[in-house]
Amino acid sequence: GASVISQSDVVWGDANWAVDGTGAMPIGSGDVTASVWVDRDTGELAILTGKSDSFDENAQPVKVGLVRVAFSPPLWNSSFGGTFEQRLNLAEASVEISTTTLSVRIFADALSDAVRVSAIGVDNTTFAVHSRVVPYRRSQPTALGRNLCFPRFETPDVVVGSDRPAALAGAVVWYHENPKNASYVRDTMGNQGVDLDQSGLKDPVAGLVFG
């Protein structure tokens, strides 16, 4: 049962190793995934999200984006004097972070294709939260070694500013849109002498939007 599974929970007592995601804890629903860690330098909660149908213009499965959530008081800092525990709860498929002042839980909601974060102040401690997205893709050539036989180019993500719809006021919004007429699939088929437009075949990644 759950009590047996919980014996194998991964528990860390500090964030000294976590700065670039190499020590992230994984969660997911089978469709939505996330790598979760607390940045040792900033104390921010970092959530690198992914989804099973997110493919870029190079037909590569990619992460959706990196969201950073800052708490005040922070989850961690270099002169941290309180308690800290980060637990990968295997029975509940969640990451739980407990400090002297905060209790935070991160999990992938299978019913709504979302990664959710809940936070409670210990002993009614008040706290502030600020979230931001870190652009994950920028205008740059892709690195070889990702099953690509020749250099490719990856278009940047778009972070939506203040001109967003009223329904999204206060939200952190970003997206990536694959070009409609420039994809790895089209170029690969063209190298084989197949014109997608004339063949009637559909390019599965052209124009795909995720975020």
The set of long-range contacts for 202-208, using a CB threshold of 8 Å and a minimum separation of 24, is 204/55, 205/55, 205/56, 205/57, 205/59, 205/178, 206/57, 206/178, 206/179, 206/180, 206/181, 207/177, 207/178, 207/179, 207/180, 208/55, 208/177, 208/178
Query: Assign residue 4 a region: left if phi > 0, alpha if psi is -120 to 50, beta otherwise?
Result: alpha
Q: What is the pTM of this model?
A: 0.85
Phi, psi of 193 (to 5 degrees): 80, 20
pLDDT the model gives residue 35 = 94
21, pLDDT greater than 90 = no
pLDDT the model gives residue 25 = 94
Mean pLDDT of the chain: 84
pLDDT the model gives residue 144 = 47
108: part of which helix (H) or strand (E)?
strand 102-109
- 38 or 183, which is more confident: 38
The CA distances from residue 25 to 10, 37, 38, 126, in Å, are 9, 6, 10, 27
Query: What span, in angstroms and rounded, lies between the C-alpha atoms of 37 and 59?
Result: 28
pLDDT in tens, 111-142: 888 899 999 998 878 888 888 888 777 766 55
pLDDT in tens, 135-181: 777 766 555 445 555 556 778 888 887 777 787 777 888 888 988 87
